[in-house]
Amino acid sequence: MDTFELKPGTLTLKDLRRIWAGEVKLSLSPDTAPAIKASHDFVNDVVASDETIYGINTGFGLLAQTRIAQDQLTKLQENLVLSHSTGTGDYLDERVVRLVLATKIVGLAQGLSGIKPATIERLLTLYNEGAYPCIPGKGSVGASGDLAPLAHLVATQLGMGRIRINDEIMDGAEGLKKLGLEPLSLGPKEGLALLNGTQVSNAIALDALFRAEMGFASALVAGALSVEALRGSHAPFDARIHAARRQQGQIDVAARLCELLAGSEIEVSHAECGTVQDPYSFRCQPQVMGAALDVIRDAGRTLEVEANAVTDNPLIFAETGDAISGGNFHAAPVAFAADMLSLAMCEVASISERRLAVLVDPKMSGQPPFLVTDSGLNSGFMIAQVTAAALVSENKTLAHPASVDSIPTSANQEDHVSMSTFAARKAGEIAFNTNTVIAIELLAAAQGVDLLRPLKSSDALEGYIAKIREVVPVFTEDRYFANDIENARQLARAGAFLDAGRKLLPSLR
């Protein structure tokens, strides 16, 4: 496995996707060492001078005015971790935890957090050993950072909580023993630096982004296949139409659909059919998918910036001798990006389901009812379309922006919060629903093309049909359908259709 060197400020979405997928080991650029040492030395100097600075020798939140004695500073940091380990719900996927570890390292390594080098090395060890702290997904409001989730990460290094090693979940103490590690001894400010930050929200949002990209690429293939199954017109994808509007996403999607459809025998076969216009869900694909693509790109830019950010508090500026309390832990940018991503995915799923509904309706598609021969005896895709409709409707509720909500916490000291963690989590749910809807359309559209044999689609689309047929055979009569849907979803998840969007999507370009 390749080793990727983390250089704060330079992480790209492409790099983050590789980390998410577990394709690389990590090292830290040696260029970070001087700044890390300088900020750590500053903290030690503060402690030695008996100066009072928030987070180093005070309580936290509403208790910030409480001065803590020097001999209690390690206990202060440990108590912070233990008291904040209040998360609940299912554990985050290990792909998300990899991103949390990597981006936490990047934030701490910029020399603004006062943390000692050995603590950063511990996070690198966890990542490289495939030792993933079990982080409950619920319990953060996205300010003051992702306190509870990050506390669960750190608690494992104190010998508490739970950790997953080689797919086995064990107690934190057992995990440390298995790794040959001693429990961490947290110095002044270290617990606060580790717990403060937006890394969990951002990692969950990046996970949703990468899955949204998979869905988007799959939807390009599904949409093109559906045009073929309908014997629809390619004219709405003419570049001149889209150049006139000047929306870049729309221009890019139209061009990609033209590439996917080029050379189709099916198009030639109905050149004189007399149909004037196809339904909007077919001919407006560039307009809808292009708008979604623009949002995906914008969200990606925000999340990429945040992955390189320092978001704990207070920040140490050793060169001027300042420790300044601010609010970089407020994850509003992540919340907005996740909510916008949710809206985009909702529309990708919605237009997909509408194409599916057209294909199963013989009055609209000219295909056998529900895309199966001997309809009546066989129900074909009848209820698969109902499943897609159910998921699309569920998405409508999930898409309500979490970022417009706020609730005061910590005795009103933290009186406005971002709700970024929830925004990101529900974006992930929408990504699952959307990718399932698209999987169903892929099956239906491929079935529709197969029902037009011996006519062939384009070489590109026939290649994608062949991939589908490797895991799901042609639907000749009713059978247990759930496996087909799951196999198609897993095919897309494995990246079978990513090439369709490789030139377009932010983490693939």
pLDDT at 274: 66
Euclidean distance between CA atoms 501 and 215, whole angstroms: 10
Euclidean distance between CA atoms 92 and 498, whole angstroms: 24
SS3 of residue 142 by DSSP: coil
Query: Is the Cβ–Cβ distance between 43 and 56 less than 8 Å?
Result: yes
Query: Is the Cβ–Cβ distance between 402 and 423 less than 8 Å?
Result: yes
The pLDDT tens digits of the residues spanning 155-202 come to 999 999 999 999 999 999 999 999 999 999 999 999 999 999 999 999
Closest CA to 116 of 148, 150, 77, 146: 77
Query: Is the Cβ–Cβ distance between 338 and 427 less than 8 Å?
Result: yes
Place of tokens 């609010």: 327
Residue 91 structure tokens: 């554990």
C-alpha R_g of the chain: 26
Which is the catalytic residue, given 54, 91, 127, 464? 54
Query: Is the Cβ–Cβ distance between 114 and 39 less than 8 Å?
Result: yes
The pLDDT tens digits of the residues spanning 321-375 come to 999 999 999 999 999 999 999 999 999 999 999 999 999 999 999 999 999 999 9
Euclidean distance between CA atoms 440 and 187, whole angstroms: 53
pLDDT tens digits in sequence order for the chain, 509 residues long: 899 999 999 999 999 999 999 999 999 999 999 999 999 999 999 999 978 888 888 887 777 788 888 889 999 999 999 999 999 999 999 999 999 999 999 999 999 999 999 999 999 999 999 999 999 999 999 998 999 999 999 999 999 999 999 999 999 999 999 999 999 999 999 999 999 999 999 999 999 999 999 999 999 999 999 999 999 999 999 999 999 999 999 999 999 999 999 999 999 888 776 676 899 999 999 999 999 999 999 999 999 999 999 999 999 999 999 999 999 999 999 999 999 999 999 999 999 999 999 999 999 999 999 999 999 999 999 999 999 999 999 999 999 999 999 999 988 888 899 999 999 999 999 999 999 999 999 999 999 999 999 999 999 999 999 999 999 999 999 999 999 999 999 999 999 999 999 999 999 98
pLDDT at 55: 81
pLDDT at 276: 66
Q: Is 54 a catalytic site residue?
A: yes
SS3 of residue 4 by DSSP: strand
Torsion of CA 105, 84, 118, 202, to 10 degrees: 0
Euclidean distance between CA atoms 1 and 113, whole angstroms: 31
